[in-house]
Each structure stands twice: as C-alpha cells, then as structure tokens.
Chains A and B, each alone.
Chain A
C-alpha cells in the first residue's frame, strides 16, 4: 500500500528565505506526483504536476523535483513571501487510472 509522508509538518521562516519542502513515498512505481497548496478553509490549488518520466517542473518561484528511485520529491520555493503562507500537500498516483494518495501536508508560515 502506497504511503506518503511530508516533512516537516510545520515550518516558519522570515520573508525572503529560500526553502524546501519534502515528500517521500513508499512505492517508487508511481505514475505521477502532484503538489497542491491549500489556504485555510479553502479547496486545494494545483501547483505542479510531475510525470514519472520527468525530473522536475518549474512555475515562477516554485520548482518541484522528483527522484523515483529514492521515493522522494521536493518543492523549492525561492524568495518566500508572506502570501506563500499556506499548507502544501503532495500526492502520488500509482497508475494512469488510480486515485491519488496524499500526504498530510506541511504548514508554512512566512513572516514579514
């Protein structure tokens, strides 16, 4: 059974710092991996989708990497801003027709 772990559970940084959020999964035979952002009381916003054949995806100040063999993905946020404060979740799909398995998220607080 696929399990997804996110470390740390919570992170507090001052504005301007570069930071890395970690996601690990137990079964390396994934189809793709997706990073989401969730603001309090809101739905999930998709940030980046990485297919199993890809090593990384970039969108603005966000960069996500994928290392299938080690069962890890990282989300890199450059020059963090208070508006980045949210919970970040990663999720993996193990086949093209399977559902997602989610981690419990990392709660990020960026202080001005």
Chain B
C-alpha cells in the first residue's frame, strides 16, 4: 500500500531564516505531487504541483519554491521566511491515471516568529 511521509512535524523558525520541508511517497511510482498550505480561516491553498521529476507548477506567487529531485520526493523551500508563511503545510499525491483521488500526508506545522 502507499504511504506518504512529511518532516518535520513541527517547526519554529525566526523571520528571515531559510526553510526546507520534505515529503516522500512510498509504494507507488510516477505520482503527481502537491504542496498545500492551510491557514486559519482560509481553507486549503494549493501552492505547487508536480507531474514528474524537475517539473513544477506554481499556483501562487510568493517567496516559496518547490523542487522534485527524485520521483517520490517533493521539497518545499524558502530562502527567507516571512511572518505570513506561518501555517500548516500539507503534501499530497495522486496516481498518474486519470480519475484517482488525492491522498495527504500528516502535515508540518510551521510557526514563524
């Protein structure tokens, strides 16, 4: 069966510091991968998605970036965090076949102070 991992689970960072969040998927190949942010009262916001290694689509202009160095690895990064980057970051995957659902990881709680 497929599993999705995210780390770290929680993170507290000062404003202006760099960020690296990692997501890995097991038990499948060629998944579509997604990064979402969930802020209080604002619902789920899609940040990036990837249909293959090195292929990244950005949904929202911001100081975050994403990379996919391996088939089942998705990384969310920032060079300098802002207070507004605080939130709950969720990674998700879906199969390459059309019609499948999306499946989410446990999330990373990021607090920027």
Binding site for B on A (CB under 8 A): 31-32, 34, 36, 41-46, 49, 51, 89, 91, 96-97, 99-100, 102-105
Task: Chain A residues near B90: list those with CB within 8 A.
Answer: 43-44
Name the residue among B44, B92, B98, B103 with the largest chain A CB count within 10 angstroms. B44
Cα–Cα, bound, A102→B92 (Å): 14
Task: Chain B residues near A31: list those with CB within 8 A.
Answer: 98-99
Binding site for A on B (CB under 8 A): 6, 34, 43-44, 46, 49, 59, 88, 90, 92, 98-107, 109
Q: Are A44 and B104 in contact (CB under 8 A)?
A: yes
Closest B residue to A33 using CB positions: B101
Q: Are B43 and A103 in contact (CB under 8 A)?
A: yes
Q: Are A46 and B99 in contact (CB under 8 A)?
A: no
Closest B residue to A45 using CB positions: B104
A43 and B105 in contact (CB under 8 A), knowing A102-B44, A103-B43?
Answer: yes
